[in-house]
A = this chain, B = another copy of it.
Amino acid sequence: MRISVVPVPRVLAGGDAGTGVIVVDVFRASTTIAAALAGGARFVLPVADVEQAMRLAEPYAANEILLGGERDCQRIDGFHLGNSPREYAHEVVAGKVVILTTTNGTQALAAAEDSGTVFAGCFVNFSAVADAVAGFDAVTILCAGNNGRLSLEDFACAGGLVGRLAKRTSRLDDAAMAARAAYKSLKENLTRSLVSTEHARRLAGLGFRADLEFSLKVDSIPVVPRQSDSRMVLLSA
């Protein structure tokens, strides 16, 4: 298996279905998408901007649709939900279509489109998403980052996935080696390290401290969101 990590978002070259692509946005889009699908949402449609979200919601009846997302970490005016995964509980999302727009994660999903078989991965579905790509010839892990910069939590999660996927015969690119090495150092105090970053402290300051804990619970939501015609749907077992 060839394993690559993209530490800072960029549009990926066109791949084939034999390439597994994991888009990692720990705080919070990947976690929120996993939570929404586990909660019974029909699908999550990640979109780049607010206007597009509004427009794509129009065809749906009011009781069919939820608009979710954030700008500058906060819920968008007129939207039903923010980007807190804890808001996407079964009683809220079951049977609903969720249209989601966030600063980093939904942009990264757009950048990954058509680059292979695309999944959303993070700590809450760590083992499930690793198992989902285990049979692929090539795996690319695209970190959503934070406004075009490397995010420690996404890079560390990518490194954990590399460590889990790599076998003696695997070929790792430099970023995959770097991420795996970083994860190895960080894993013993993972939560403490990942809540100490500027982004995490900002989320905590805005009242989202519980989101950080929620997002760092490994394997707590063992579902695999897969991109299909721009929608994120549950990978059927």
Please judge, given known A-B contacts A182-B185, A186-B181, whether A175 and B149 are in contact too, CB under 8 Å: yes
Measured CB to CB, the nearest residue on chain B to A171 is B198
A150–B193 Cα distance when bound, in Å, is 22
Query: A198 to chain B: which residues have CB within 8 Å?
Result: 173-174
A interface, over-half SS: helix
Interface residues on A, range: 20 to 34
Give the nearest-CB partner of A199 in chain B: B174
Is A146 engaged at the interface, CB distance under 8 Å to the other chain?
yes
**Interface segment, A94-102, A103-111, A151-159, A229-237?**
A151-159
Residues of B within 8 A of A177 (CB): 152, 193, 197
With A7-B8, A150-B7 known as contacts, the answer to whether A185 contacts B174 (CB < 8 A) is: no
A185's partner among B146, B175, B184, B197 (CB-CB below 8 A) is B184
Q: Cα distance A150–B173 when bound, in Å?
A: 9
A12 interface contact, C-beta 8 A: no
A178 contacts B by Cβ under 8 Å: yes
Q: Mark A83-100, 1 if CB is under 8 A from B, else 0.
A: 000000000000000000
Residue of B nearest to A148 (CB): B10
Taken together as a complex, chains A and B put the C-alpha atoms of A156 and B197 apart, in Å, by 20
Q: From the candidates B174, B184, B199, name the one contacting A150 in the complex (CB within 8 A).
A: B174
Distance in angstroms from A204 CB to nearest chain B CB is 15
| Bound-state Cα–Cα, A185 to B193, Å | 15
**A174 / chain B contacts, CB cutoff of 8 Å:** 146, 149-152, 155, 197-199
Q: A145: shortest Cβ distance to chain B, in Å?
A: 8
| 24 residue pairs from A and B, CB less than 8 Å apart | A7-B8, A7-B175, A8-B8, A150-B174, A150-B178, A151-B174, A152-B174, A152-B175, A152-B178, A155-B174, A155-B178, A174-B197, A174-B198, A174-B199, A177-B193, A177-B197, A178-B179, A179-B182, A181-B182, A181-B183, A181-B185, A182-B182, A182-B185, A185-B185
Residues of A bordering B, CB below 8 Å: 7-8, 146, 149-152, 155-156, 173-175, 177-179, 181-186, 193, 197-199
